[in-house]
Amino acid sequence: MADFLGAVDEIFSSEATYLNGALFAAFLAFAATGEWVAERSGTLNISVEGMLLGGAFTAVLGYHVSGSVALGLLAGMLGGMLIAGVQAEMSHRLAADQFVVGLTLNILVFGLTGFLENQIAPDSTLAGRWEIPVLSDIPLVGQALFGQRWPFYILYLLIPLSWWLVYRTRWGLELRSVGENPQSADVSGIDVNKRRRQSIYYAGLTCGLGGAFLIFGHIGRFEDTIVGGRGFIAIAAVIFGGWTLRGTLAGAMIFAGALSFRLSIQGLGYDVNNELLQALPFIVTIAGMAVFSHRVRAPAALARPFIRGLR
Amino acid sequence: MNNTELGDAGAHEADNPSVPAVQLTGISKRFGAVVACDSVDLALQRGRLHGLLGENGAGKSTLMKMLIGLVLPDSGTISIDGAAQTIHDPRTASALSIGMVHQHFSLVDALTVWENVALGDTGRLDPNATRGRIGEIAEQYGLAIEPDRRVGDLTAGLRQRVEIIKCLRRDPSIVIFDEPTSVLTPEESEQLFESLRHVVVAESRAVVLVSHKLDEVLHATDDITIMRQGRVVDQRRSVDAAAPSLARAMVGREVSLRSERAALGIHRLDDTDLDSDLTETDTGLDGNGLDGNGLDGNGLDGNGLDGNGLDGDGLDGDGLDGDGLDGDGLDGDGLDGNGLDGNGLDDTGLDGNGLDGNGLDGNDLREGSGATGDTSAPGDRDTSGTVPAVATTAPPVLRIEAAVAHGTDGLVALDEFSLEMHAGEIVGVAGVEGNGQRELSDVLSSLLVLSSGTVTVDGTPVPTGKAGAMARAGIGVIPEDRHDSGLVLDMTVAENLVLVDQSRAATRGLIDQKRLNAFAVEMIEQFNIACSGPNAPMWSVSGGNQQRVVLARELSQEPKILVAANPTRGLDIGAIEYTTRRLETAAASGVAVLLISSELEEILELSDRIIVMHTGRIAGTMARAEANFETLGLCMGGAAT
């Protein structure tokens, strides 16, 4: 036990823990921010996993073709939105079940990207590291927050932008009303399914960015296992956060902490069962959900399809 | 831009009375086999308040939905200010300067007042401008509201205000009010009609008031159109209209029974509405041996004539006049049909009055008779002789003690709520919706668990929130929403009949089709359920008959306690009457009936004892005889009694 506490202490005083934690948290935050927007509109968008993986793959592809990280990022966004398009049009235009569509998409994207990766074997790279002067010298967390590769910093714009869109614009107001009470929104003259589709496209955009960030800001190359179920952890972060952006980000950080802990404890040479460690983030997620999820109120129309004329 | 244009056009047309603000011509709409609107013609003039009157399902809401773009007509034309228009969605309607005050659908609880008002506008979101506009409208029409409160936290009256402000924010020239008073207390309704009149007068708008309440339409409007079964059956000016003839037109036959009047919301007729023959009838009632022969003034006096201001005109004219008084009308029709005799109240009342001196029960229906010193023999009325007397000395069949429960929103919904019920009594629960009535019925349906407090049936504590526990303890429930929690629409009538207790049709978990059918056939016969047979899918059965299925299922369990939550909501008159009578018969056979209702008339008619709920507590308890609309209304609004 003392041994374990010693390990924990060592982990918390290691800069690498925070650096890894920030990378994991950023990846989750890209995905969770978009998922948060989608869920506020009433869609429980479970194709996040597919959007992340698709975004990562198209980002690599974009770089392979253009040789530019920026264009790679753009391609990642488009890839995420392409998958979002399937989800949005199927579930909120053709009224197919959003879960069935989402599940199918996740499996499809997994297979498709694995196959194409084998066929094309695209080149990849890591983006350049930007050290923000002064701030990056803060002990322990300086490097983690201000010494990352540049795609990381997009998050610093994306988060306030998303908050502003949802809480300060007419589009956001309509989005929230659609998630809470689609009948009322419809009566008020809002195109419910259009707003829902748009919110899914937005999730596709942020997930695509997240996938691209994973490639250029963290891993440096594509494998079909790089997302590894973290799309679902992003969904859990939204629920954990009680459908507020603040809570969602807090959830992303806590879950990322668990992911990072796993790496650090091995990196420091402690001998802990590997399978158990792999399961750790998911155990934390489930525990977090069990403790927090019943205390908060979800958007009232979450995961309920809207068909005009039906109450 | 668009608004001003139309506004100008409107002002222009207003000078020319021959062009109505809205002209509907030959509008028809069918949903499957049901004709909702059948070639309806309707003209709305500016500066006038037009009442659209009809029973539930008469097609008035559908008609208005076509005007607002929520439903598309199958045929017919809609002209706004003389120009034919196609209105496919609410946006088109609002561009044409048509606004609707919706009762249920248009507010989002999770948003604030100003956010709700801004919803559906276009352009940049400007909180301060919206708050300012709310202030203006509030001042202009006397509709004060705090713009930053969450709509979900507001009372029904205040929500209505938000709804009206939301509608008026863009200054529509045509305004539709859809059943605006259904969730309001009487005072709130009064306030509403005041501001409504204001809305019409200001800038000569054309305003429609959709309602099934005769009384309010008669008082508030200038013109009245009556719809029945999808057709316009009558149109007249309000000044030329009288309640009885409107009621006749609306229902398609004479309206006589109290339950019908309740359904039509006739309860506040002024003295001016009394015509001479009503008075005649009144005297007829007394003089004609009603007192003498044991029918006495009881139900009639205590209940209708004085208690709630129906006075004479309520029962008379149509129902009890002339022929109503002789054997035929009163015995066979008036009393039976009305359920006054199968009531159990009569008898218990008499006993209570005479023997126990039990004020509460004795008073209820009997007050009148007691006061007139009528000592009619119980035997006269009670031929069955099975009605048990209510004695307060008997242990209560249901006892709820200091119950605390939380609603789905986590707020306290029942707050130290205590209630005792005795066999054979009907306890009415009045109150503005959302004051814990729903949670009370949920607790008694095992749907909600108490945070503290106990529920005891016949002296045995029953665990709360445990599926089926309440039903096994002998509590039957007629749920508030048949479709939501009473029936499974995709299953058959027979299956629905055994949904609560399969033991009637199943052995060792296997359903025996023969027994199921036999039981269903028996129930269908006994409760007169109109359906094509035991295997008819539930959705193919009309609303009134669906309610009969629920009644049949719950009553066939022979419950000790029957909870009826808004049992007549959404039913037509025949079904209301039937349901009411069944409840009375159940009470007469010794079932304790807890009647939770938002229709005061229904509560006043049926209950021995009335409790009023306010914020999860009992705000007042009164005997039937002490209760009238005013005392109940005050209590419902939270005023101390």
Give B561's strand partners. B475, B592
- Of the candidates A170, A180, A309, the beta carbon closest to that of B108 is on A180
pLDDT at residue B4, as a whole number:
40
Which comes out higher in pLDDT, residue B278 or A108?
A: A108
pLDDT higher than 90, residue A265: no
Q: Shortest CA distance to A211 belongs to which of A196, A198, A221? A: A221
Q: Could you check whether B2-97+171-252 and B398-636 share the same CATH topology?
A: yes
Band the pLDDT of B6: cuts 50, 70, 90: very low
Least confident of B14-28, B289-303, B428-442, B498-512: B289-303
pLDDT higher than 60, residue B134: yes
pLDDT higher than 70, residue B124: yes
Q: Which of residues 187-216 of A touch B (CB under 8 A)?
A: 187-190
pLDDT at residue A63, as a whole number:
96
A60 exposure class (CB count in 10 Å sphere: 0-12, 13-18, 19+): buried
Structure-block tokens of residue B468:
């089926």
- Of the candidates B89, B91, B106, the beta carbon closest to that of A184 is on B106
Contact: A169, B119; criterion CB under 8 Å: no
Structure-block tokens of residue B411:
């707020």
A-chain residues within 8 Å CB-CB of B100? Answer: 187
Which comes out higher in pLDDT, residue B185 or B555?
A: B555
| Residue range B92-118: mean pLDDT, rounded | 88
Q: What is the percent of chain B where pLDDT is above 90?
A: 27
A294 exposure class (CB count in 10 Å sphere: 0-12, 13-18, 19+): exposed
pLDDT higher than 70, residue B100: yes
Q: Domain A2-127+143-295, CATH 1.10.3470 — does that match?
A: yes
CB pairs below 8 Å between A and B: how many?
A: 66
pLDDT at residue B298, as a whole number:
34
Band the pLDDT of A305: cuts 50, 70, 90: confident
Instruction: Give, for B592, the enclosing helix (H) or strand (E).
Output: strand B592-596
Structure-block tokens of residue B499:
């949904």
- Of the candidates B70, B102, B118, the beta carbon closest to that of A173 is on B118
Contact: B106, A173; criterion CB under 8 Å: no
Give the span between the Cα atoms of B151 and A180, in whole angstroms: 12
Cβ proximity of B234 and B249 under 8 Å: yes
pLDDT at residue A298, as a whole number:
85
Q: Is A181 on the interface with B (CB under 8 A)?
A: yes
Please tell me which of A102-111, B319-328, B493-502 the model is most confident about, judged by mean pLDDT: A102-111
pLDDT at residue B345, as a whole number:
33
B-chain residues within 8 Å CB-CB of A176? Answer: 108, 110-111
pLDDT at residue A105, as a whole number:
95
pLDDT higher than 60, residue B203: yes
Domain ranges of chain B: 2-97+171-252, 271-381, 398-636
Least confident of A83-92, A152-161, B102-111, B603-612: B102-111
Structure-block tokens of residue B370:
């007691």
Structure-block tokens of residue B160:
């209505």
b/e map B111-144, b = 16+ CB within 10 Å: bbbbbbbbbbbeeebeeeebbebbeebbeebebe
Instruction: Tell me the nearest-neighbour CA distance from A100 into chain B, angstroms.
Output: 24
Neighbours of B239 (CB within 10 A): 8
Contact: A185, B108; criterion CB under 8 Å: yes
Give the span between the Cα atoms of B169 and B145, in whole angstroms: 14
Chain B residues with CB under 8 Å of a chain A CB are 68, 70-71, 89-91, 94, 100, 102, 105-111, 115, 118-125, 166, 409-410
Rg (CA), chain B: 26
pLDDT higher than 80, residue A17: yes
Q: What is the ipTM of this complex?
A: 0.85
Residues 6+ apart with CB under 8 A from B82: B13, B19, B23
Least confident of B143-147, B355-359, B476-480, B523-527: B355-359
Give B511's strand partners. B506
pLDDT higher than 90, residue A226: yes
Band the pLDDT of B338: cuts 50, 70, 90: very low
- Of the candidates A173, A174, A183, the beta carbon closest to that of B105 is on A183
Contact: A170, B122; criterion CB under 8 Å: yes
Contact: B119, A185; criterion CB under 8 Å: yes
Least confident of B327-331, B375-379, B486-490: B327-331
pLDDT at residue B105, as a whole number:
63
Which comes out higher in pLDDT, residue B524 or B182?
A: B524
Task: Output the DSSP codes for B457-477.
Answer: ETTEEE-TT-TTHHHHHTEEE
Q: Shortest CA distance to A50 belongs to which of A62, A34, A39? A: A34
Band the pLDDT of B294: cuts 50, 70, 90: very low
pLDDT higher than 90, residue B561: yes
| Residue range B170-198: mean pLDDT, rounded | 81
Q: What is the mean pLDDT of chain B?
A: 74
pLDDT at residue B17, as a whole number:
55
- Of the candidates B90, B110, B123, the beta carbon closest to that of A187 is on B90
Contact: B118, A170; criterion CB under 8 Å: yes
pLDDT higher than 70, residue B638: no
CATH of domain B398-636: 3.40.50.300
Q: Domain B2-97+171-252, CATH 3.30.300.160 — does that match?
A: no
Which comes out higher in pLDDT, residue A256 or B367?
A: A256
Give the span between the Cα atoms of B560 and B477, in whole angstroms: 11
The rounded Cα B45 to chain-centroid distance in angstroms is 30
Band the pLDDT of B401: cuts 50, 70, 90: very high
The rounded Cα B562 to chain-centroid distance in angstroms is 19
pLDDT at residue B193, as a whole number:
83
Give the span between the Cα atoms of B64 and B366, in whole angstroms: 45
Q: What is the mean pLDDT of chain A?
A: 90
**Among chain B residues, CA nearest to A299:** B110
Least confident of A130-139, B10-19, B180-189, B347-356: B347-356
Task: Output the DSSP codes for B111-156.
Answer: SBHHHHHHTT--SS--HHHHHHHHHHHHHHHT----TTSBGGGS-H
pLDDT higher than 70, residue B211: yes
pLDDT at residue B374, as a whole number:
35
| Residue range A9-24: mean pLDDT, rounded | 86
pLDDT higher than 80, residue A78: yes
Cβ proximity of B592 and B397 under 8 Å: yes
How many residues are recorded in chain A?
A: 311
Residues 6+ apart with CB under 8 A from A159: A29, A33, A245, A249
Helix (H, G, I), strand (E, B) or coil at B319: helix
Cβ proximity of A227 and A53 under 8 Å: yes
pLDDT higher than 60, residue B349: no
Give the span between the Cα atoms of B432 and B304, in whole angstroms: 23
Task: Output the DSSP codes for A202-225.
Answer: HHHHHHHHHHHHIIIIII-S--TT
Q: Is A41 on the interface with B (CB under 8 A)?
A: no
Instruction: Tell me the nearest-neighbour CA distance from A182 into chain B, angstroms.
Output: 9
pLDDT higher than 70, residue B639: no
Band the pLDDT of A230: cuts 50, 70, 90: very high
**Residues A144-179: pLDDT tens digits?**
999 999 999 999 999 999 999 999 999 999 999 999
Token match 């707020």: residue?
A: B411
pLDDT at residue B273, as a whole number:
37
Give the span between the Cα atoms of A279 and B310, in whole angstroms: 73
Give the span between the Cα atoms of B338 and B529, in whole angstroms: 20
CA angle B86, B89, B93 (to 5 degrees): 70
| Residue range B379-387: mean pLDDT, rounded | 35
Residues 6+ apart with CB under 8 A from A284: A254, A255, A258
Instruction: Tell me the nearest-neighbour CA distance from B88 into chain A, angstroms.
Output: 11
pLDDT at residue B58, as a whole number:
80
Task: Output the DSSP codes for B342-380.
Answer: TTSHHHHHHHIIIII--HHHHHHHHHHHHHTT----HHH
A283 residue type, one letter: I
The rounded Cα B462 to chain-centroid distance in angstroms is 31
pLDDT at residue B433, as a whole number:
75
pLDDT at residue B254, as a whole number:
57
Structure-block tokens of residue B136:
């203006």
**Residues B37-55: pLDDT tens digits?**
999 999 999 888 999 988 7
| Residue range A247-267: mean pLDDT, rounded | 87
pLDDT at residue B255, as a whole number:
54
B-chain residues within 8 Å CB-CB of A188? Answer: 90, 106, 119-120, 166
pLDDT higher than 80, residue B302: no
- Of the candidates B91, B111, B124, the beta carbon closest to that of A177 is on B111
